[in-house]
Amino acid sequence: MQKLTLTRATEEDCRFLYDLRNEEDVRKNSFQTETFSYESHVAWYKEKLGDKQTQIYVLKQDGENIGQARGWRNFLCALPKGKRIWIC
C-alpha cells in the first residue's frame, strides 16, 4: 500500500521545488511557462517561506518527493508530468 503525506516545505526543499517547477510538462501547464535561474528561485522561495499568507507543502509518496501544494486563497497542486489540480 502506498503512503501519501503532505508536509510543510522547508529550506531543504528548495532544490526539489525548483527542479519540479522547471520540468517541461509542468511549465507547459503553468501560468509562467519560461524557465528561470536557480538564484531567482532561491530569492523567491525565501520570501515565500517568510510570508505568513503563503503556505507551501511537499507531497511525498512512500517518503519520496513527488509534488507540491501551494496555498493562498486557493490551493494549486503542481505534480510531475504537468498535472494541476485546483482545490477551493
Tens-digit pLDDT profile for the chain (88 aa)?
788 888 999 999 999 999 988 888 888 877 788 888 999 999 999 999 998 888 899 988 888 898 888 877 666 666 554 555 544 3
Whole-model pTM: value is 0.78
Do the beta carbons of residue 67 and residue 79 sit within 8 Å? yes
Do the beta carbons of residue 22 and residue 33 sit within 8 Å? no
